[in-house]
C-alpha cells in the first residue's frame, strides 16, 4: 500500500512538472490576459513582477510546487475565484456522471458476457459479440453528437440533449439530463467488460477446477456460476479498473458535447482561456481522480482474490 | 537392420505469419474490406476530389450527385473534406503506431529476455509510470498549452501533427512492450531456444533471429487494435479543437463544426465524417480479432 | 462362469481436430478392469494415457472425437449416454483423481463452501469423519481457509476423499495423482489409494509415466506408445518377461536396475512423428525393426500371459533374436 502511495506521488509530481514547464515554454505571457493585448511593456512588466514571472524559472517552479504542496492551487485568472473552490463545484458532476454510467453498464455487461459464454456459438452469443465490438468501436463523441441531433431535432422533449439540471432544483430533470451522457460515456465499457468476461469464462473450461467439477458431476449451473463466473470476475475487475481511467478521458469529450459543467468541461475551457492556474488544478485533480480510481479497483480486486487479500492484511 | 536415430536438435517450429489453406472467418473478411475502404479513401480520395478548401456549392446542401456527402456550412464539398481528413488520420495512426513499435519491440523483448533482472525491472517500471498517467487528458493539456505552434526538440522542429503522433506513440509503447515481453517470456521457455543456446549461438543472435520472428504475431494483433485507438484519438483531439489545425480538414474537426449546424437539420454534415471514423475503428478491430484467431490457431 | 468386468474398453480411438487435420491421440486401445483391480497405464507424455481417462469420463475437449466399439461401465454403454446420464455417473459411479491438486479446486472460495458443492448438506460430524479416514483430521478445523493455504499432499488427500470415498464410486480413475508431490507424500498418497481399494473394492485405472510408481500399486499394466497399447500384462509378468521392445527399453531405463556408476541406457530418438508413417509406430526407434515393421501395423496378439502389439515379440527375455524370428 505504501509503495503504491509513493508511486502515485511520483506520478503526480511528474505530471505537475511537465505541465509547469510546458506552460512556461508556451508563447505569450499570462500577463497579457490580465492587462489586455494592447498594454504597454511597463504595465506587462509590473503584472509579471506581481505574479512572480520575472524570477528565474527554477525559482518559479519551486515556489509553485511549494504552494501546491500546501494545498493552495491559486486563483483563476478568468473568474478570480480560488481554484479549489472552482474544482469543488465541478468535481461532483464528473464523479456522478462516471458512477451512474458504470452502474448502468457494468451489470449489463456482466449479464451479457455470462449469457454469451454459457450459450457459446449460438446466435445469442454472436449478437452479444457484435454489439460489444460495435460499442467499443463507435467513436463516443460522434455517437453523442448523433444523439444530440436525434433528441434535439427529431425527438424534441423526450430527453434533454444538452445542459445540466441540479439535483436540488429538479430531481427528475436531474436524472433525465444524465441519461444520454451516461449512456454514451460507458458504452465502450460495456463491450470491453462483456468481452473480457466471456473470453475468460470460455477459457476457464481448460482450468483444472472446472475439469474436476465436471468429473465430480456438478450441475452445469453450479460450474458456470461458482467456478467459471466467480473466477472470471478477477480479470474482469482488473479490466474495469483500466476502463475507469478511459472513462475519465471520455468525460472530457462527453461533457463538452452535452454541455455539462464537470471537470472535463472546466479543463477544456481553462485551456482555451489560457487560465493556467485553473488548468493546472484541473489536470492535477483529474490525475488524482484517475489514480484513486485505480486504487479502488485494486482494493476491489483484492477483496475478490483471497491470495492478494491476505497479502494486504499481512502488511 | 537396426536404426538408431541420433537425437538431433530441432529448430522451430516457426509460426508462419501467412497461414495457408485455412478458412478465414467472415468477420475478418469484413474487417479487411472496411480497412481497405478507409485506406483507399485516404490515399486516392484527395487525388480525385475538388479542393476541400474552396466553396463549390451551396452551404449545407444535402448529398447529391455533385456532392456525394453534401456540403458544409461554407458550401465546401464534404466528401473531399472527409477524404482529406482521412488522409491526416491514416498518417497520424500509421506513423504513431510505427514509432511505438520501433521503441517498444526491442525494449519489450529485452525485458522478457532478462525477465526478473534489472533491465526488465527498469523498463517495466518506466512503462508502468507512463500507464498510470491519464494520457488522453495529458495529451489534451499539452496540445492545448503548446497550441498550434510547432516547438523545438533540440534541432528538430515538431509540428502540431508531430506532437499528436508522439503523444499517441508514447501511450502505445507500454502496451506493445508488454505484449512483446510476455511473448518473449513464453518463447524463452520453448525448447528450441535453449537448444540454440546449447549449440553456442550467441545471445544477440538468438534474440534477433528467432525471437523477433516469433514475437511479431501477438504484436501485430496489438498494432491493429492500436491503429483503431490512434484513429479515434486523432479524431477526438480534432473534435476538441486541439488536433491538427485548420485549414487542414480533420475528421474530428469536421464533426466539431457539424455540431454547430445540426439544428439546421444538416444530418449529413455530422454523419458522414463519423461513418468514416467508424469504418476505420470497426475495420481495424475486426482485423485485430481475425489476426488473433488465425495466429492463435497457428500455434497448435 | 465369467463375471462381467467393471469396465471394458474396446477399440478406443480418439482424434483431435487441429489446423493440420485430424490427429490421432489414441488408437485402438482395449482393456478390461475387474472390481478391486488396479490397472496401470504407463507411457511417456503424449502417449495418450491421460486422454484414455478423459475419454472414459467423456470429458474430452470439444475438438476431440472419440470412437469405440465398446465402452461399458457396469454393463451400461458410456458412449451412448446423454449429458444428464453422464452427470449422474460422474462422481457417484466413476471418480477421478486429478493430476494437479493445487489447482483442482477453485482458488477464490473457502474449502468448506466447495465441500458443500460436492457433498451437499452433509453434517459437520460426517465431514470430519471422512477427513479422518484420509488422514486429514487436522484440516477439519481449517476448512474456512482457501486452497492455497494447504499443501499439495493435503489437497490431494482431500480430492481423493471427494472422488473415491465420499460418494462411494465403484471405479476410480487416477491421472498421475502423485507427479506434483514430494517423494514422501507420494508414498502416503499411493498407500491411501490402495487402502481405499482394499476397503471399498474399487477398480482403479492408474495412469503414470513412472514405472516405479506403477510397480508399487498395480496388478496389471498396459504400456502405451504413440496412442497405442503396445503391451498389457500382469505386473510380475511385465517386469520379468517384457515382450515388446519398447517395454524392454523402458525397463532398461529404470534407474533402480543399475548399480552405482553404471551408465543408464536411454531410449534413442523421440516419439515425434511416430504417427506420420504407416507400420508400427515404434519402428523408427526399434532395434529389432524389420522392413515389415515399417509397412504393416502389428495386430495385438497373446503371448504367454501378455497381450503384445508387435511383429516380433520375445517369449522370454533375450531368448528370441529378431532375425531368427523372421526366418
Neighboring chain C residues of A209 at a CB cutoff of 8 Å? 103-107
The rounded distance, in Å, linking the Cα atoms of B107 and B101 is: 10
The yes-or-no verdict on residue B146 having pLDDT over 90 is: no
User: Cβ separation of A145 and B270 shorter than 8 Å?
Assistant: yes
A222: pLDDT confidence band, cut at 50, 70 and 90? Answer: very high
pLDDT at B18: 39
> Cell numbers at residue B296, please?
492463435
Query: pLDDT digits over A295-304, tens only?
Result: 888 888 888 8
Spell B105-142 as b/e; 16+ CB within 10 A means b: bbbbbbbbbbbeeeebeebbeebeebbbbbbbbbbbbb
Helix (H, G, I), strand (E, B) or coil at A241: helix
Query: A139 and B240 in contact by Cβ < 8 A?
Result: no
CA A12 to mean position of chain CA atoms = 16
Instruction: Name which of C168, C284, C170 is nearest C226 in CA terms.
Output: C284
Going by pLDDT thresholds of 50, 70 and 90, the confidence category of residue C273 is low
Per-residue pLDDT, A31: 66
Chain B residues close to C288, C-beta within 8 Å: 2
Residue C1 at interface with chain A, using a CB cutoff of 8 Å: no
Note the pLDDT of residue B2. 34
**pLDDT over 60 at A293, yes or no:** yes
Can you list the positions of beta strands (E) in A5-129?
none
Could you give the 3-state DSSP secondary structure of residue A15?
helix
Q: Using pLDDT thresholds of 50, 70 and 90, give the confidence band for residue B19.
A: very low
**Angstrom distances, CA of residue C136 to CA of C2, C109, C127, C154, C165:** 40, 19, 10, 7, 13
Q: pLDDT tens-digit profile of A168-199?
A: 888 888 888 899 999 999 999 999 999 999 99
What is the predicted pLDDT for the residue at B128?
78
Among the residue ranges A125-129, B109-113, C116-120, the one predicted with the least confidence is B109-113
Closest CA to A167 of A95, A104, A216: A95
Q: Which of B144-153, B287-296, C121-130 has the highest mean pLDDT?
A: C121-130
Whether chain A has a CB inside 8 Å of the CB on C229: the answer is: no
**Residue C22 bridge partners (DSSP):** C17
Answer yes or no: is pLDDT of C322 > 70. no
CATH of B24-299, one of 2.60.40.3140, 3.30.700.30, 1.10.3720.10, 3.40.50.2000: 1.10.3720.10
> Sign of torsion, CA B112 B114 B118 B123?
negative
C159 touches chain A (CB under 8 A): yes
State the Rg of chain A over Cα: 24
CA dihedral of residues A81, A11, A17, B154 (deg, nearest 10): -140
Q: Does the pLDDT at position C13 exceed 60? A: yes
Residues of chain C in contact with residue B2, where contact means CB-CB under 8 angstroms, are: 287-289
Q: Hey, which bits of chain B come out as E strands?
A: 151-153, 156-158
Half-sphere exposure of A80 (CA within 13 A, CB side): 1
Cβ–Cβ < 8 Å for C276, C287: no
pLDDT band at A63; cut points 50, 70, 90: confident
Question: Which residues touch A202 (CB under 8 Å, ≥6 apart)?
Answer: A117, A120
User: How far apart, in whole angstroms, are the C-alpha atoms of residue A281 and residue A74?
Assistant: 9
Closest to C206 (Cα-Cα) out of C246, C167, C236, C235: C235
Cis link prior to C219 (omega < 30° from 0)?
Answer: no
* Cβ of residue A49 closer than 8 Å to a chain C Cβ: no
Mutation for testing the B interface, residue in C16, C17, C18, C19 having most B CBs under 10 Å: C19
C1, pLDDT greater than 50: no
Which residues in chain A are contacts of C108 at CB distance < 8 A? Answer: 230-231, 234, 304-306
pLDDT at C36 > cutoff 80: yes
Nine-digit cell string for B165: 503522433
The larger pLDDT score, comparing residue B192 to residue A160, is at A160
Which of A13 and A254 is assigned the larger pLDDT? Answer: A254
Of A137, A153, A291, the CB nearest to B282: A137
Q: How far is B49 from chain A (nearest CA, A)?
A: 24
| B contacts of C19 (beta carbons < 8 Å) | 19, 22, 297-298, 300
Dihedral sign, Cα of residue A101, residue A103, residue A108, residue A110: positive
Q: Which residues of A touch B289 (CB under 8 A)?
A: 133
- Rounded to the nearest integer, the mean pLDDT of chain B is 78
- What pLDDT is attached to residue B106? 87
The whole-number average pLDDT for the span C163-171 is: 92
Mean pLDDT over the full length of chain C:
86
Share of chain B above pLDDT 90, in %: 23
Residue numbers of B between 111 and 130 with CB closer than 8 Å to A: 128-129
Put simply, the answer to whether A267 touches B141 (Cβ < 8 Å) is yes
Give A-chain residues touching C162 at CB under 8 angstroms. 216
- Classified as helix, coil or strand, B265 is coil
Whole-number Å distance between alpha carbons of A73 and A224:
51
pLDDT digits 0-9 by tens, B237-278 = 999 888 888 788 899 999 998 888 877 778 888 889 999 999
Contacts of C195 (CB under 8 A, 6+ apart): none
* Contact call for A146 and B258, based on CB within 8 A: no
Of the candidates B252, C268, C58, B289, the residue with the CA atom closest to the CA atom of residue A211: C58
> Does A219 reach chain C within 8 Å, measured CB to CB?
yes
| Positions of E strands within chain C | 7-18, 21-33, 38-42, 64-67, 70-73, 76-77, 94-97, 171-175, 203-208, 220-225, 228-234, 301-303, 306-308
Mean pLDDT of B278-289: 91
What is the Cα–Cα distance from B32 to B286, expressed in whole angstroms?
A: 8
Contacts of B5 in chain C (CB under 8 A): 268-269, 284-285
Tell me which DSSP letter residue C302 carries.
E
Give the pLDDT band (50/70/90) at residue A287: confident
- The 10s digit of each residue's pLDDT in C195-224 is 999 999 999 999 999 898 999 999 999 999
pLDDT at position B255 is 92
Residue C273 touches partner B, C-beta closer than 8 Å:
no
Q: How many residues does chain A have?
A: 315
What's the CA angle centered on C60, arms C57 and C62, to 5 degrees? 145
Q: Rounded to the nearest 10 degrees, how much is the dihedral formed by the CA atoms of C279, C285, C290, C292?
A: 0
Please spell the DSSP secondary structure of A178-193, one letter per residue.
HHHHHHHHHHHHHHHH
b/e string for A164-193 if b means 16 or more Cβ within 10 A? bbeeeeeeeeeeebbbbbbbbbbbbbbbbb
- In this prediction, residue B265 carries a pLDDT of 78
In A119-170, which residue ranges form alpha helices assigned H by DSSP?
123-137, 140-149
Among residues A230, A185, A214, which one has the least CA distance to residue A93? A185
pLDDT at B211: 67
Could you tell me the pLDDT band of residue C31, with boundaries at 50, 70 and 90?
Answer: very high
Q: What does the pLDDT read at residue A186? A: 93
Pairing of strands C7-18, C64-67: antiparallel
- CB–CB contact A217 C87 (8 Å): yes
The pLDDT-based confidence of C16 (bands split at 50, 70, 90) is: confident
Band of residue C182 on the pLDDT scale cut at 50, 70, 90: confident
Q: Is the pLDDT of residue B299 over 60?
A: no
User: Which chains neighbour A (Cβ–Cβ under 8 Å, 3 or more pairs)?
Assistant: B, C
> Among B5, B6, B297, whose Cβ lies nearest the Cβ of C19?
B297
Least confident of A235-239, B203-207, B216-220, C248-252: B203-207
Rg (CA), chain B: 24
Are C148 and A308 within 8 A, CB to CB?
no
**DSSP run (H or E) holding B162:** helix B160-188
- Chain-chain contact of C268 with B6 (C-beta, under 8 angstroms): yes
Q: What is the DSSP letter of A224?
A: I
3 state DSSP class of C233:
strand
**pLDDT tens column, A13-33:** 887 887 777 777 666 666 666
How far, in Å, CA of A232 to CA of A227, rounded?
A: 8
Query: Residue A43's pLDDT band (boundaries 50, 70, 90)?
Result: confident
Distance from CA of A99 to the nearest CA of B (A): 18
φ and ψ of B55, to 5 deg: -70, 120
Instruction: Return the domain boundaries, chain A.
Output: 2-69, 86-314
What is chain A's mean pLDDT, rounded?
85
Pick from A207, A209, A215: CB nearest C91: A215
pLDDT at C315: 59
Interface test with B, best of A17, A131, A141 (most B CBs within 10 A): A141
Taking CB atoms and an 8 Å cutoff, what residues of chain B touch A271? 140-141, 144-145, 242
- Greater confidence (A6 vs C325) lies with A6
Using DSSP's 3-state secondary structure scheme, residue C34 falls into coil
The proportion of chain A whose per-residue pLDDT surpasses 70, expressed as a percent, equals: 92
pLDDT of A117 higher than 50: yes
- Report residue A2's pLDDT band, with 50, 70 and 90 as the boundaries: low
Question: pLDDT value at position B7?
Answer: 28
Decide if pLDDT at C3 tops 60. Answer: yes
User: Across residues A209-222, what is the average pLDDT?
Assistant: 93
Nearest to A181 by CA among A204, A159, A154, A157: A159
Angle, alpha carbons B280-B281-B286 (nearest 5°): 100
Provide the ipTM: 0.88
> Does B30 contact A at CB distance below 8 Å?
no
> d(Cα C302, Cα C49) in Å, to the nearest integer?
21
Which residue would you say has higher pLDDT here, B281 or A294? B281
And the C-alpha cell for A84? 479549489
pLDDT of residue B11: 34
Pick B202 or B140 by higher pLDDT: B140
| B contact chains, 3+ CB pairs < 8 A | A, C
Tell me what pLDDT residue B203 has: 63
Contacts B3 to C, Cβ<8 Å: 284-286, 289
Asked if the model's pLDDT at residue A144 lies above 50, the reply is yes
Nearest to residue A74, comparing CAs of A63, A83, A65, A66?
A: A83
Residue B118 scores a pLDDT above 70: yes
Contact C105 A211 (CB under 8 A): no
Record: contact C92-A217, CB cut-off 8 A: yes
What is the fold, at CATH topology level, of the domain defined by A86-314?
MetI-like fold (1.10.3720)
Q: What is the pLDDT of residue A158?
A: 80
- What pLDDT is recorded for position C297? 86
d(CA A161, CA B49): 35
pLDDT of residue B231: 94
Domains of chain C and any CATH numbers? 1-218 (3.40.50.300), 235-327 (no CATH)
**Environment class of C297 (CB within 10 Å of its CB; exposed 0-12, middle 13-18, buried 19+):** middle
Torsion over CA: C180, C184, C185, C190 (sign) = positive
What is the CB neighbour count within 10 angstroms for residue A284? 18
Amino acid at each position: 500500500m505504501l509503495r503504491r502511495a509513493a508511486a502515485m506521488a511520483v506520478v503526480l509530481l511528474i505530471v505537475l512538472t511537465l505541465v509547469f514547464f510546458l506552460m512556461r515554454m508556451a508563447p505569450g505571457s499570462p500577463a497579457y490576459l490580465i492587462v489586455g493585448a494592447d498594454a504597454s511593456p511597463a504595465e506587462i512588466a509590473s503584472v509579471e513582477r506581481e505574479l512572480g514571472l520575472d524570477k528565474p524559472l527554477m525559482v518559479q517552479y519551486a515556489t509553485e510546487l511549494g504552494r501546491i504542496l500546501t494545498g493552495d492551487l491559486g486563483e483563476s485568472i478568468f473568474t478570480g475565484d480560488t481554484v479549489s473552490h472552482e474544482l469543488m463545484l465541478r468535481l461532483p458532476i464528473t464523479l456522478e456522471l462516471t458512477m451512474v454510467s458504470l452502474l448502468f453498464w457494468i451489470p449489463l455487461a456482466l449479464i451479457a458476457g455470462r449469457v454469451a459464454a454459457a450459450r457459446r456459438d449460438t446466435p445469442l452469443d454472436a449478437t452479444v459479440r457484435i454489439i460489444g465490438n460495435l460499442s467499443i468501436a463507435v467513436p463516443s463523441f460522434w455517437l453523442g453528437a448523433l444523439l444530440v441531433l436525434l433528441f434535439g431535432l427529431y425527438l424534441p422533449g423526450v430527453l434533454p440533449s444538452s445542459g445540466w439540471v441540479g439535483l436540488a432544483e429538479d430531481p427528475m430533470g436531474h436524472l433525465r439530463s444524465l441519461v444520454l451522457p451516461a449512456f454514451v460515456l460507458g458504452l465502450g465499457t460495456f463491450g470491453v467488460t462483456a468481452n473480457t468476461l466471456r473470453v475468460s469464462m470460455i477459457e476457464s473450461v481448460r482450468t483444472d477446477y472446472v475439469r474436476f467439477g465436471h468429473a465430480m458431476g456438478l450441475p452445469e449451473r453450479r460450474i458456470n456460476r461458482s467456478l467459471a463466473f466467480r473466477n472470471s470476475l478477477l480479470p474482469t475487475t482488473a479490466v474495469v479498473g483500466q476502463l475507469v481511467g478511459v472513462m475519465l478521458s471520455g468525460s472530457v469529450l462527453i461533457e463538452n458535447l452535452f454541455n455539462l459543467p464537470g471537470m472535463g468541461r472546466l479543463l477544456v475551457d481553462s485551456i482555451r482561456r489560457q487560465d493556467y492556474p485553473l488548468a493546472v488544478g484541473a489536470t492535477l485533480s483529474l490525475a488524482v481522480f484517475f489514480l484513486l480510481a485505480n486504487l479502488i479497483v485494486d482494493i476491489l480486486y483484492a477483496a475478490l482474490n483471497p491470495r492478494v487479500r491476505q497479502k494486504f492484511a499481512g502488511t | 537392420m537396426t536404426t538408431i536415430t541420433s537425437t538431433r536438435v530441432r529448430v522451430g517450429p516457426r509460426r508462419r505469419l501467412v497461414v495457408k489453406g485455412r478458412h478465414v472467418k467472415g468477420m475478418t473478411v469484413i474487417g479487411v474490406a472496411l480497412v481497405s475502404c478507409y485506406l483507399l479513401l485516404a490515399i486516392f480520395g484527395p487525388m480525385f476530389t475538388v479542393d476541400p478548401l474552396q466553396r463549390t456549392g451551396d452551404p449545407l446542401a444535402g448529398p447529391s450527385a455533385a456532392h456525394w456527402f453534401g456540403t458544409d456550412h461554407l458550401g465546401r464539398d464534404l466528401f473531399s473534406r472527409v477524404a482529406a481528413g482521412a488522409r491526416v488520420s491514416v498518417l497520424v495512426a500509421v506513423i504513431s503506431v510505427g514509432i511505438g513499435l520501433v521503441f517498444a519491440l526491442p525494449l519489450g523483448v529485452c525485458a522478457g529476455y532478462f525477465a526478473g533482472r534489472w533491465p526488465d525491472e527498469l523498463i517495466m517500471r518506466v512503462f508502468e509510470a507512463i500507464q498510470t498517467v491519464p494520457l488522453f487528458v495529458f495529451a489534451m493539456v499539452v496540445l492545448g498549452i503548446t497550441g498550434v505552434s510547432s516547438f523545438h526538440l533540440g534541432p528538430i522542429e515538431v509540428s502540431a501533427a508531430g506532437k499528436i503522433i508522439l503523444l499517441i506513440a508514447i501511450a502505445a509503447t507500454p502496451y506493445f512492450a508488454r505484449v512483446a515481453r510476455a511473448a518473449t517470456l513464453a518463447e524463452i521457455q520453448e525448447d528450441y531456444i535453449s537448444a540454440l543456446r546449447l549449440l553456442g549461438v550467441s545471445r544477440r543472435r538468438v534474440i534477433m533471429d528467432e525471437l523477433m520472428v516469433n514475437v511479431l504475431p501477438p504484436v501485430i494483433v496489438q498494432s491493429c487494435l492500436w491503429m483503431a485507438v490512434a484513429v479515434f484519438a486523432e479524431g477526438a483531439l480534432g473534435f476538441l479543437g486541439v488536433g491538427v489545425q485548420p485549414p487542414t480538414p480533420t475528421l474530428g474537426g469536421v464533426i466539431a463544426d457539424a455540431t454547430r449546424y445540426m439544428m439546421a437539420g444538416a444530418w449529413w454534415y455530422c454523419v458522414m465524417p463519423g461513418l468514416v471514423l467508424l469504418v476505420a475503428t470497426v475495420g481495424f478491430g475486426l482485423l485485430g480479432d481475425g489476426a488473433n484467431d488465425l495466429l492463435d490457431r497457428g500455434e497448435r | 462362469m465369467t463375471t462381467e468386468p467393471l469396465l471394458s474398453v474396446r477399440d478406443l480411438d480418439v482424434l483431435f481436430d487441429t489446423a493440420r487435420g485430424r490427429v490421432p491421440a489414441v488408437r485402438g486401445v482395449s482393456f478390461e478392469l475387474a472390481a478391486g483391480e488396479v490397472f496401470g497405464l504407463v507411457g511417456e507424455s503424449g502417449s495418450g494415457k491421460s486422454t484414455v481417462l478423459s475419454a472414459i469420463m467423456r470429458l474430452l475437449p470439444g475438438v476431440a472425437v472419440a470412437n469405440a466399439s465398446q465402452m461399458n461401465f457396469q454393463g451400461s454403454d458410456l458412449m451412448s449416454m446423454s449429458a444428464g446420464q453422464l452427470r449422474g455417473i460422474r462422481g457417484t459411479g466413476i471418480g477421478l483423481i486429478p493430476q494437479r491438486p493445487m489447482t483442482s479446486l477453485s482458488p477464490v472460495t473457502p474449502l468448506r463452501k466447495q465441500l458443500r458443492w460436492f457433498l451437499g448438506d452433509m453434517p459437520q460430524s460426517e465431514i470430519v469423519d471422512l477427513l479422518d479416514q484420509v488422514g486429514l483430521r487436522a484440516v477439519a478445523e481449517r476448512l474456512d481457509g482457501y486452497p492455497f493455504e494447504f499443501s499439495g499432499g493435503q489437497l490431494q488427500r482431500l480430492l481423493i476423499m471427494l472422488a473415491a470415498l465420499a460418494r462411494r464410486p465403484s471405479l476410480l480413475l487416477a491421472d498421475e495423482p502423485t507427479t506434483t508431490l514430494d517423494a514422501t507424500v507420494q508414498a502416503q498418497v499411493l498407500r491411501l489409494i490402495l487402502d481405499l481399494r482394499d476397503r471399498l473394492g474399487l477398480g482403479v485405472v492408474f495412469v503414470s509415466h513412472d514405472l516405479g510408481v506403477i510397480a508399487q500399486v498395480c496388478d496389471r499394466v498396459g504400456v502405451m506408445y504413440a496412442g497405442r497399447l503396445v503391451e498389457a500384462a500382469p505386473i510380475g509378468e511385465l517386469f520379468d518377461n517384457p515382450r515388446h521392445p519398447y517395454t524392454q527399453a523402458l525397463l532398461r531405463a529404470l534407474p533402480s536396475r543399475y548399480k552405482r556408476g553404471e551408465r543408464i541406457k536411454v531410449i534413442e530418438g523421440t516419439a515425434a512423428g511416430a504417427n506420420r508413417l504407416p507400420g508400427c509406430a515404434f519402428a523408427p526407434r526399434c532395434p529389432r525393426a524389420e522392413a515389415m515393421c515399417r509397412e504393416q501395423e502389428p495386430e495385438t496378439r497373446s503371448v504367454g500371459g501378455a497381450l503384445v502389439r508387435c511383429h516380433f515379440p520375445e517369449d522370454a527375455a533375450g531368448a528370441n533374436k529378431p532375425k531368427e524370428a523372421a526366418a
